Amino acid sequence: METNKIYCMDCLEGMKQIPDGSVDLIVTSPPYNFGGFSRDGKQSSYDCYDDNMTDEEYQEWTECYFKELYRVLKPTGMFYFNIKYRFQDYRCKIPFWIVEKSPFKLLNMIIWKFASSPDVAKIKWYPRHEYVFVFIKSNDYYFNEDYAKYGDVWEIPQVMANSKERTNHPAQYPLKLIRRIIESSSKSEQLVLDPFMGSGTTAVASKQLNRKFIGFELSKEYCDIANKRLAQKTIFEL
């Protein structure tokens, strides 16, 4: 499969074309199954995906793509999985079951902490963090020891309405978060996979850091946003 490309297709279909053990690093943030987004105080949704499976369907689907990710990752590779917890009926629905169902070994649970969450009702403590699960396949994984000092709580601002990197995607994650992951856990020229590419943040960070990338995204609109970002002359200034 050609690298440095975002394929506008279902990732489960697309990953079938990636050979076993050929990817050095996986970084992704999947749809959270929240049935849409609340952004800048407004309800928003994905372009062509309703993000509204039953819990059982969502777990089954997650297990399915985890299996594919496990297959394509090299034994020395790492997999960073950014997800948000969700309270419903006073229960935390995700993400902890993922760890139990995953074929990977869990190395870290990073807390991504941020200073603002402007769209939340003032009825309880504001949510100010998400998780980044760090998975490995074997103990022979690559990790640059200079990065261990950052610890497992990372304070990195979310992409705000006035951020330079901001696009029209409702769930864009910040370049700074992804750059730290790519720099610490892969080498120059290695291959980074993001099965849920959205606005292309993983691809942009990979290009900035001289890594190859491959990605999938269902929505043509988001693929266009991502390709436009990748073609920007100012990409290295973001």
Question: For residues 129-188, which are near ligand SAM according to CB under 6 A?
Answer: 169, 171-173
CA distance 184 to 44: 33
β-bridge mates for residue 26, sequence order: 79, 193
List the structure tokens of 208: 């900035």
The dihedral over CA atoms of 76, 82, 88, 92, expressed in degrees to the nearest 10, equals: 50
- By beta-carbon distance, which residue lies closest to ligand SAM? 198
Tell me if 199 contacts ligand SAM by CB under 6 A: yes
223 half-sphere exposure, CB direction, 13 A CA radius: 15
Q: Answer whether 9's CB lies under 8 Å from 216's CB.
A: yes
Q: In this complex, which beta carbon is closest to ligand SAM, that of residue 141 or of residue 173?
A: 173
What is the contact mask toward ligand SAM in residues 68 to 107, using x (rule: CB under 6 A)? ----------------------------------------
Q: Which one, 73 or 181, has the nearer CB to ligand SAM?
A: 181
Question: Of these, 184, 190, 201, 206, which contacts ligand SAM (CB under 6 A)?
Answer: 201
Selected binder of ligand SAM within 190, 216, 223, 229 (CB under 6 A) = 216
Residue 95, preceding peptide bond in cis (omega within 30° of 0) = yes
User: Which listed residue (131, 133, 141, 222) binds ligand SAM by CB under 6 A?
Assistant: 222
Q: Comparing C-alpha atoms, which of 182, 186, 195 is closest to residue 12?
A: 195
Q: How far is the CB of 90 from ligand SAM (least distance, A)?
A: 25
Of 37, 34, 80, 81, the residue nearest 58 (C-alpha):
34
Contact stretch for ligand SAM (CB under 6 A) within 24-32, 92-100, 109-117, 148-156: 24-32
- Cα dihedral sign for 227, 163, 128, 180? positive
Which residues inside 2-21 make contact with ligand SAM, applying CB under 6 A? 10-11
Please report, as ranges, the residues that interact with ligand SAM according to CB under 6 A: 10-11, 29-31, 46, 49, 169, 171-173, 196, 198-199, 201, 216-219, 222
